[in-house]
A and B are shown apart, each in its own frame.
Chain A
Amino acid sequence: MRPYFEKMAPLGHALKPGQLKQTANNQAVFETAEAEIKADVERVRQAGFSTEKINARGQMTVWQRLDYLVDPDTWCPLHTLYNPAANDEGTTNVIDGLARISDRWAVVIGFDNKVMAGAWLAGQSENILRVTDLAKRLNLPLIWLVNCSGAKLPEQEKFYANRRGAGAPFFRHAELAQAGIPVLAGIYGTNPAGGGYQGISPTVLFAHKNGNIAVGGAGIVSGMAPKGHFDLEMAEGLIKKAKAFKTKPPGSVKTHYDETGFFRYVFEEEKDVLDGLKAYMADLPAYHPRFFRVAEPCDPAFPVEDIYRLLPMAPKRVYAFEEVLARLVDGGEHMEFRPGYGPEVYTGLCKIDGFPVACIGNRQGYLGKGYPEYADYPGFGGKLYRQGLIKMNEFVTLCGRDRMPIVWFQDTTGIDVGDAAEKAELLGLGQSLIYSIQQTDVPMMLVVLRKGTAAAHYVMGGPTANRHNAFTLGTAASEIYVMHGETAAVATYARRLVKEKDAGRALDEVVDRMNALADDYHDKSRPLFCAHNGLVDEIVAIRDLRRYLEAFAGSAYQNPTSICPQHQMILPRIVRG
């Protein structure tokens, strides 16, 4: 397929002096917003004890372990700000992301040993669920850095039980094993109870000499029979027992290497554990990239930093989606699928790091006279109409046939509404797209460039509506909500306004409520809110977007579970005609 992919049609243009002049302010606003997000990320990195304190104990921090473990410049963090239970610690206490280790992509996750020695906190199991789903969707090995003191006991009711509670990761590890996905674990420190199962549930265990895993820790083993209360005599007894166990915690290397053999390897130094993981990673099966590449990798035609100027922070401003795409894909080249049909949506084939990838994105702005063809009002990009929905259904179906990973770019205000839209079958076509996506079974990622709104956020590869979304990224311009806050205020209070007016009452109170609701929508749709609550898996700086795309493409093609021979692909032929 070299003639199709080696040199494709050019996309986008270099910025001109007038654009540079006009867009300087947008860049400044964008970078200020990114700085706010970066400050929040730094707060998570600094959570708990200082690095110096952990190092003084002879331990590395989770960040130092990750830094040593992963190949340089390949770390793509996810869920850094995820904290759905609003823990005081400001984190779910696991740090995770995609990264290459020994030249192979992996999903990597570690307990933050600076925060309560890596305790279970509320929201953590939801975080781990996302991570195990990611490994499963991309068919990547999962690498654990276990250092878990067990549950934060005073808050156990928030996370211990329930269908997706703190025990679910162990079942998830079993599920990965069932799917043939290895879980490798480096084990550090004291890992009692929940920490013990975190340690035992992976596939191969690499322990540090001071690491241990146990059904229960010293605190549990020394417990006494409940009396219904505590008194000083009991306290004295507990002190004696706890001291005895402190010197010899259960489940040490002596037990689980020498006796049970649960630990496959034991290492003297912390870094040796990581070297052991690296050596194993080098031996795991992975296709060489040349198996799937269709061209030599190359940079986009224009700097990714241009996007700071091209993607307006002002939510109502229109822009050219193709100009953004040209700065993210190899050589700024593409093959567009059905140009001219369904103009509100771009669908096409591009290359990322030499791999073929399908891209779908919302165009913005006026769509021209006579469109949508079923209505007497003008069509604007960002909205989805009949043709766009049909085109996406066709495109993703063919992507499934050609085993083409899909990158979605959302900036959508929703699906067109009203009687004309209903007659044009948009409700059915939206659900058809969800069905079409589900049928593909190819990995997908989503970038919410700006707006993710209403059902369009679902049907355009959103994480809510399919199992193939590996992860979702936001930008400092992202906002996600069921509808704009002002629209919601109108929907909620319009009838009330009529009622109050008819009754001759003052409208001030209702107007105040409308403003309050609109403000609330604004606050609960911002990038930081989206990150804290998991509406996205990470807010990414624009200049880092390309790195995530490379990670996605490399991961999707490392060990795909099904293959379309390049010369049997049909999409490039359909595009060429």
Chain B
Amino acid sequence: MPEEILAPLAGKIIQLNLEIGKAVEEDEEILVIEAMKMETPVFAPLSGTVKEVMVDEGDEVEEDQLLAVIDE
């Protein structure tokens, strides 16, 4: 079951640890969004394989924007 990763807040992607086809572990830090001088890490909600990545480092994103998809 694919899981969509949405941006929890608006900000700039300053770190992206996702690569299509690579495995991720539940609760692993998959990207970091910077906003209001603070860095908010986003963690993998499940273990699986990265199916899609819609953003790059440096991108500005909106809250709830689709960032990536992880396949279980």
A residues with CB within 8 A of B = 16-19, 21-22, 314, 316-318, 364-366, 369, 377-378, 380, 382, 413
Contact = CB atoms under 8 A, between A and B. Distances in A.
Contacts, number: 51
Interface size class for chain B?
20 to 34
B35 A378 contact: yes
B27 A318 contact: no
B27 A369 contact: no
A318 B36 contact: no
Interface in B23-72: 25-29, 34-41, 43-44, 47, 63
A19 B27 contact: yes
Contact of A22 (B8, B10, B29): B29
Contacts of A16: 26-27
Contact of A18 (B8, B28, B39): B28
Contacts of B25: 17-18, 21
A17 B26 contact: yes
Given A378-B36, A382-B38, 4 more contacts: A17-B25, A17-B26, A21-B25, A22-B29
Of A22, A314, A380, the most chain B CB neighbours within 10 A belong to A22
B35 A380 contact: yes
B40 A366 contact: yes
Nearest to B39: A316
7 contacts: A17-B26, A18-B28, A18-B43, A22-B28, A317-B41, A380-B35, A380-B36
A21 B23 CA distance: 14
B9 interface: yes
Interface of B: 8-10, 25-29, 34-41, 43-44, 47, 63
A318 B26 contact: no
The 10 closest A-B pairs by CB, nearest first: A18-B27, A18-B28, A366-B9, A16-B27, A18-B25, A316-B39, A380-B36, A22-B29, A19-B27, A318-B40
Contacts of A18: 25-29, 43-44, 47
Contacts of B44: 18
A410 B34 CA distance: 22
A364 B10 CA distance: 16
Among A18, A21, A413, residue most surrounded by chain B Cβ atoms (within 10 Å) = A18
B39 A318 contact: yes
A17 B46 CA distance: 11
Q: Helix, strand, loop or mixed for chain B's interface?
A: loop
B38 A364 contact: yes
Nearest to B43: A18
Given A366-B8, A380-B35, A318 B41 contact: yes
Contacts of A366: 8-9, 35, 40
A547 to B, nearest CB: 30
A36 B38 CA distance: 27
Contacts of B27: 16-19, 22
A369 B10 CA distance: 10
Contacts of A317: 38-39, 41
Contacts of B47: 18
Contact of A365 (B28, B37, B40): B40
A16 B25 CA distance: 10
Contacts of A377: 36
Contacts of B36: 377-378, 380
Nearest to B36: A380
Contact of B38 (A17, A22, A316, A369): A316
A316 B15 CA distance: 14
Contacts of A364: 38
A394 to B, nearest CB: 27
B63 A318 contact: no
Contacts of A21: 25, 28
A359 to B, nearest CB: 23
Nearest to A413: B37
A17 B44 CA distance: 12
A561 B59 CA distance: 59
A330 B47 CA distance: 32
Contacts of A318: 38-41
B29 A365 contact: no
B5 to A, nearest CB: 14
Given A17-B25, A17-B27, A19-B27, A378 B9 contact: yes
Contacts of B40: 318, 365-366
A362 B21 CA distance: 39
A19 B41 CA distance: 11
A539 to B, nearest CB: 24
Nearest to A18: B27
A479 to B, nearest CB: 14
